[in-house]
Chains A and B, each alone.
Chain A
Amino acid sequence: MAEKKILTKDFGAPGLAHLAGYEQTGGYQAYQKALKELQPDALVEMVKKSGLRGRGGAGFGTGQKWSFLPKGVYPRYLVINADESEPGCFKDRYLLEASPHQVVEGLLIAAFAIGCNLAFIYIRGEYLPQHEALEWALAEARQAGYIGKNVLGSGFDVDVILHRGAGAYICGEETALLTSLEGYRGEPRLKPPFPAIKGLYGKPTVVNNVETVATLPHIVSNGPDWFATIGTETGKGTRLWCMSGHVNRPGNYEMEMGAPIRELIYDLGGGVWKNRKLKAFQPGGASMMVLLPQHLDVGLDFDAIQKAGSLAGAGAMVVMDETTCMVDMCRRYVEFFHHESCGKCTPCREGTFWMTNVLTRIEEGEGKAGDADLLLEMGNNIDGRSFCPLGDASTWFPRSCIKYFRDEFEQHVTEHACPFRKERVMVA
């Protein structure tokens, strides 16, 4: 099966990154339709009916999230989360680079729908070319009258501020993002109150992912019923999957929700590189649990992946061949979480430090009998006890690896060395 392209269908059209090129593909028609023919409430209903779920990680219903905003409380803010830094994810980057106007149009539709007059885009500091693409797109949209006062005579006023982060993964978490946008250290806040009630500057706020809003123009143009026919019962539309690792053709692929993982890895990705065997793969990004070849027929959709024991997260697919050392992968990921822990709460700050230590000693052949169980115990003390999902998630990949590859952990200990080192050196 091929890709199913909705968001990426015009990618490659000449000048798509600029207004004229984007308008030639029908760009900003949906925004104009929304302004002229639809009322904000009708738009919220439309998005609810489409079944669109957020693409930033949690998969929460977008229309539902919007409808949590308390009636009559203004100003309200919309913040587009372009902080993409989950290891394995590079889809928002692709969308921003190839078609920044599609993201801007989606943002404007969302702002109109929720009654927001000042929207923000929080983009990670490392995404400089994407920052520039957005800056141009915003300037062009402003010049065309899509952003400003009384947009196209509709009475709708809207402005957009592009805000550059400065290197902190935790700022992708929505409450940390808002704290950061207010000019503080990017530490998460307690929920509830949820941002919809008390968000940016204490006002009702919606945080939406880049891909989520990029989908909106298509829903407005083609209708919610059309959108709801694509995908599965509980996962509508398409998703971008960022595939990386030991696969012949890594990259971004847009697929219908529910298409089997096998198609992504084998048909689109060309299978495992160097004629090697598939050992494991990890959907969702750094946080998510590992899956095995026996899961290849699982559908690419929130619920199916969850049923298989992992999570779809932000749509990453990291492929690992038979030469991969799972202990080493665990060590790297947990080190990453330790590095990115904001330090606010002890289970995450200390726990990720100790887990990194134990994983490092196992990988270096200095592990002790019972280290795998020690890791599980540490995991239990972090997961559910951390202040925000970063701490919890730091334990998911290693615990799933111990579940499926416990013998590998033990082999490291009994052989006092990493059994994969030899092959890894040969790769180099």
Chain B
Amino acid sequence: MSLSQATVEKIQDYARRYPSAQSAILPALWAVQHEVGYVTSDGMREVAQHLGLPASLVEATSSFYSMYLTRPEGRHDAVMCVNVACALRGAEELFAYCEQRLGIRDGQTTSDGAITLRSTIECLGACGGAPMMQIDHRFEEDLTPERVNAIFERLRTEPAPSPEPPRPAAVPPTPTPAAKAAPKRPAGGSRPREKKADT
């Protein structure tokens, strides 16, 4: 596999922007994930090559962070927080409902490839709107079974989010609320971190 010219240029640009090329590892891995959908060892090797770093270093860094996916996922990512503040407002019960509704368990993808469902105890910063989910990293708060149904219904047919968040042009257009209201949707996922091997 090899990365597109656009992604390579982006990675080289990151390397120039930071005082140290190593700081560009995280943004470079994001760029890989945006293009490929997940981060493979090939992708990491290419990042290492473009940043002039040993591949082992890029791999060591990458494996620490839970949001870099290591395998292909559904078109959409649905993550529900079940930490304390959310649990107090019924997140766990609603998550069980989601599993039942989609006919899959935590971490699985629906058979049509539309939705990967996960619960996490990583607080997603929407405790005041619990129970909540992030759908492709967009907040959906104050959820009810009815709202969940509507969201899943929509995701069944909706295409995968565009891999890139909108980047303001060097000279941004006169911003209007409308321009901001229709952001493109990025790919990615907030999967619960894997348990450390030694525990």
Contacts of A85 in B (CB 8 A): 122-123, 125
Q: Which of B155-199 contact A (CB under 8 A)?
A: 165-172, 174-175, 177, 180, 183, 186, 188, 190-193, 195-196, 198-199
Contacts of B107 in A (CB 8 A): none
CA distance A182 to B195 in the complex (A): 24
| Residue B20, interface by CB 8 Å | yes
Q: Which of A113-148 contact B (CB under 8 A)?
A: 118, 124-129, 131-132, 135-136, 139-140, 143
CA distance A180 to B27 in the complex (A): 12
| Residue B49, interface by CB 8 Å | no
Task: Flag the segment in A213-221, A244-252, A358-366 that touches B.
Answer: A244-252
Of B30, B61, B83, B183, the contact of A336 (CB 8 Å cutoff)? B83
Q: Which of B34-70 contact A (CB under 8 A)?
A: 57, 60-61, 63-68
| Residue B148, interface by CB 8 Å | no
Q: Which of B116-166 contact A (CB under 8 A)?
A: 121-130, 134, 137-139, 165-166
| Residue A286, interface by CB 8 Å | yes
Question: Looking across the interface, which residue of chain A has its beta carbon closest to that of B62?
Answer: A166
CA distance A128 to B88 in the complex (A): 25
From residue A184, how far is it (CB to closest CB) to chain B in Å? Answer: 6
CA distance A336 to B29 in the complex (A): 25
Residues of B contacting A: mostly:
loop
Asked if A87 meets B85 with Cβ closer than 8 Å, knowing A131-B165, A168-B64, the reply is yes
| Residue B72, interface by CB 8 Å | no
Q: B168 touching A183 by the CB < 8 A rule?
A: no
Q: A340 touching B122 by the CB < 8 A rule?
A: yes
Of B63, B130, B190, B193, the contact of A244 (CB 8 Å cutoff)? B130
| Residue A89, interface by CB 8 Å | yes
Contacts of A19 in B (CB 8 A): 175
Q: A166 touching B177 by the CB < 8 A rule?
A: no
Q: B65 touching A167 by the CB < 8 A rule?
A: yes
| Residue B23, interface by CB 8 Å | yes
Contacts of B20 in A (CB 8 A): 182-183, 201
> B interface vs A, CB < 8 Å?
17-20, 22-27, 29-30, 57, 60-61, 63-68, 82-85, 87-90, 93, 121-130, 134, 137-139, 165-172, 174-175, 177, 180, 183, 186, 188, 190-193, 195-196, 198-199
